[in-house]
Amino acid sequence: MLGSLVLTWIFICLLFLFIRIQRPKNFPPGPRPVPIFGNLFQLNITNPLKDFERLAECYGNIYSLYIGGTPAVVLTGFKAIKEALVTKAADFSGRPQNLLVSHATEGKGVIMADYGPGWKEHRRFALMTLRNFGLGKQSMEDRILGETKHIVSRLEKSAGRSMNPQTLFHDAASNIIYLVLFGTRFDYEDDTLKKFIHLFTENAKIANGTWGMIYDTLPMVRNLPLPFKKALDNVQKLKQMAAKLINKHKTTRVPGEPRNFVDCYLDELDKTADGSSFAETQLLMYVLDLHFAGTDTTSNTLLTAFLYLTTHPDIQERCQKEIDEVLEGKAHASFEDRHNMPYTQAVIHESQRRANTVPLSVFHCTSRDTELMGYSIPKGTLIIPNLSSVLSEEGQWKFPHEFNPANFLNDEGQFEKPEAFMPFSAGPRMCLGEGLARMELFLILVTLLRRFQFFWPEDAGEPDFTPVYGITLTPKPYRMGVRLRQPAREM
């Protein structure tokens, strides 16, 4: 028995010795991988951000890892990420097609679709349609301000006590994107809205969590009934829900008279010829992509902003003073008011920086053999842009490791955005909803700070700023106190 065990271990050691993974020539350095598992054992698979930081200190700002047998290159710091995603964008804008998230989306939609004519066609359509339906115009402001009234109404019911804002901001952000997509909104207690948000939130945690890492690393276990199957099942549920909404929407549609994003896509379908990338299966994932991207990032940034504002009352008070002065006599804020609110703008951007909402961006992939800062990167290499490293990089920020609006203010106290501010990523794959997100963050935060005072409840204990890791980072659940400001203002 013992002899058999020893022979087995000798066989395993010899196997590992003979099938050792060979790095491509002039590939970035990195920790030695082991067969089958790659560098899995060198990462905390529940949250690898600290490990990425440690490995960058050891191997430099461009280093390699193996996710199972798949080679990956991690980009750290502003210089490396800018050169790859902006300067050499055509080489680094692909999407990996063999990960849990790409299998769940089937490579459709706009987020995980591979870089090519179909993706370009859909991105161009999205940008044009969002612009036509008011992005940067009064009509989009009206949608956001309309939804903000529902947030105010909910907060007024909590005035004088504390409440958990977790679902409130998710509900509001979700409704704003649904107003753009379908021209309708859900009541905050609606089961469909709750189900959408639950499934999105659950998948964000699975895809970048332990089971997502196991799925990506060990292809041989993908058909086993393990927890990552839930992410695939969730996507099917989401697609069924989206299909139901689209089919219902068709019953009231007048071709050629689009009321919203979905109508525009259906009009495009009516006139497409063979060979077009437009299809109903694409529309399903397109709607889900925009819903997820338009909900999770904005809501988690708002949650982060109010976590810091409740624990930094001096910053909140200075914002409110500026807001009161600029909006004196006005019924409500407009997006143009941001130009007269440098401090509030700085607070919003600092909240985005500290929120670090999508810390590893969405993984990229090289579309051809290329070079980066002296290293050779073969076609098909997985690229992990560590945006977290840029948003807290020494030398790029005055106060890289603390919440301080001075990071976005010049010596004259005017708002100034450093080039290293890239929470929406950079290059052709940059988040197409950036404009909408910026408008939402400003109008919601300004409206709420004008109407309410927020504070950290005395019985809440010490605040914990450590986020929960996933595709998106989210603050740990917390409670905030709410008071009406005096005098109360009309919306």
pLDDT of amino acid 310: 97
Taking a C-beta distance cutoff of 8 angstroms, is the pair 431, 135 a contact? no
Confirm if 296 and 201 have CB atoms less than 8 A apart: yes
Q: Helix, strand, or coil here: 432? A: coil
Per-domain residue ranges of the chain: 15-484
The set of residues, in sequence order, having a beta carbon less than 8 Å from that of 137 and lying 6+ positions away, is: none
Q: What per-residue confidence (pLDDT) applies to 491?
A: 44
Give CA–CA dist 177/155, Å, rounded.
21
Sequence-ordered list of residues with C-beta below 8 angstroms from that of 206, at least 6 positions apart, any chain: 100, 212, 227, 228, 230, 231, 234
Which pairing describes strands 70-76 and 364-365: parallel, antiparallel, or unpaired? Answer: unpaired
How many helices and strands in the chain, by DSSP H and E? 17, 9
Rounded CA-CA distance 17/275 in Å is 49
pTM: 0.90
CB 398 within 8 Å of CB 410: no
Three-class SS state of 483: strand
DSSP assignment string, 257-277: ---SHHHHHHHHHHH--TT-S
d(CA 288, CA 61): 34
What is the model's pLDDT at position 268? 87
Q: What is the pLDDT of residue 10?
A: 45
| DSSP code for 374 | T
The kind and range of the H/E element at 377 are strand 375-377
Distance separating alpha carbons of residues 284 and 249, to the nearest angstrom: 13
Query: 73 pairs with which residues across the strands?
Result: 64, 383
Report the chain (491 residues): mean pLDDT per 10 consecutive residues: 46 49 88 90 86 95 93 96 94 89 84 84 86 70 93 93 91 91 89 90 82 86 90 92 91 88 88 78 88 87 96 97 95 94 97 93 93 95 95 95 96 95 88 87 97 93 86 88 72 44
Alpha-carbon dihedral of residues 448, 452, 456, 459, nearest 10 degrees? -130
Residue 425 structure tokens: 């990523």
Q: What is the pLDDT of residue 209?
A: 76
Q: How much is the pLDDT for 157? A: 92
- Rounded to a whole number of angstroms, the distance between the first and last alpha carbons of the chain is 79
What does the pLDDT read at residue 134? Answer: 66
What's the CATH architecture for 15-484? Orthogonal Bundle (1.10)
Residue 8: per-residue pLDDT: 53
Structure tokens at 32: 């030695």
Tokens, residue 229: 């199957």
Q: Which helix (H) or strand (E) holds 315?
A: helix 313-327
